Amino acid sequence: MKQLALVIDLNVCVGCHACVTSCKEWNTSGSAGPLSDQNPYGADPSGTFFNRVQTYEIGVFPDTQTLHFPKSCLHCEDPPCVPVCPTGASYKRAEDGIVLVDYDKCIGCNYCAWACPYGARELDEHKKVMTKCTLCVDRITDQSRAEAERKPACVMACPTNARLFGDVHDPESEVARAIRERGGYALMPEWETRPANQYLPRRVSGSSADGK
């Protein structure tokens, strides 16, 4: 069975937020309606995003590394957000493993957001329904696009190729190979959600950060 997912290469992410803005642009422009912003140019802005890039400092000065860390829905293989949904608006697609929300069924009860340990879901303040990363489902399945363009907007935008996309269940795929050969790992494994998205750890060499 197919499981589409992203693999994030933490070695090359430079924290430029190109994936954040291209995600917002694509997903606010489609037929599903806008990802709204509240007070975007005011003193207290707020808004819905499917993807964020965070930054962490690892170690203690002067032995530090800066880690840029993109974070979005991980399309878990055992998603705790799905069975709790009372309406069936949240579901995991059998054909490709994408976890989606049916905006026409969602009652905006927030329960699925409580049930996601990663904080990957955001209730849109304007639509009043739950939203989250769709892996650009309307783009990757659009047969009118050239094959090379049938990828999520974030993947297309990333200037350093830090975002790989494909079927993690196909052992020959780029993503499966990357996970296998480069030690791909899942976030918060303690909750047994089996995230489909994985992260490639940094291979730090010759820097002071690994003590050499």
Interacting residues with other proteins (CB under 8 A): 17, 20, 44-49, 52-60, 66-67, 69, 71, 80, 82-89, 105-111, 113-119, 121-123, 125, 127-129, 185-191, 199, 201
CB of 141 to other proteins, least distance (A): 26
- Residue 18's binding partner out of ligand SF4, other proteins, none, with CB under 5 to 8 Å set by partner kind: none
> Which of the ranges 33-41, 49-57, 107-115, 168-176 carries the binding residues for ligand SF4, by CB under 6 A?
107-115
Q: Which is nearer to ligand SF4, 20 or 106 (CB)?
A: 106
- Residue 79's binding partner out of ligand SF4, other proteins, none, with CB under 5 to 8 Å set by partner kind: ligand SF4
Positions 179 through 208 that interact with ligand SF4 (CB under 6 A): 193
Beta strands in the chain (DSSP E): 4-9, 37-38, 46-47, 51-60, 63-72, 90-92, 99-101, 122-123, 130-131, 163-167, 198-200
Q: Which is nearer to ligand SF4, 37 or 102 (CB)?
A: 102
CB of 160 to other proteins, least distance (A): 17
- The residues, any chain, with a CB within 8 Å of residue 124's CB and separated by 6 or more, are 35, 36, 48, 130, 131
The helix or strand, by DSSP H or E, that contains position 155, with its residue range, turns out to be helix 153-157
CA distances from 20 to 53, 129, 209 (A): 7, 21, 28
Q: By CB under 6 A, is residue 139 in contact with ligand SF4?
A: no
The number of residues in the chain equals 212
- Residue 76's binding partner out of ligand SF4, other proteins, none, with CB under 5 to 8 Å set by partner kind: ligand SF4
Q: Which string of x and - marks every residue 62-101 that binds ligand SF4 (by CB under 6 A)?
A: -----------xxxx--xxx---xxx-xx--------x-x
Counting DSSP H helices and E strands in the chain, the numbers are 5, 11
Tell me the three state secondary structure of residue 38: strand
d(CA 60, CA 114): 33
Tell me the three state secondary structure of residue 23: helix
The helix or strand, by DSSP H or E, that contains position 113, with its residue range, turns out to be helix 111-114
Q: What is the DSSP letter of 185?
A: B
Residues lying near ligand SF4 in the complex (CB under 6 A): 73-76, 79-81, 85-87, 89-90, 99, 101, 106-112, 116, 118, 120-121, 130, 132, 193
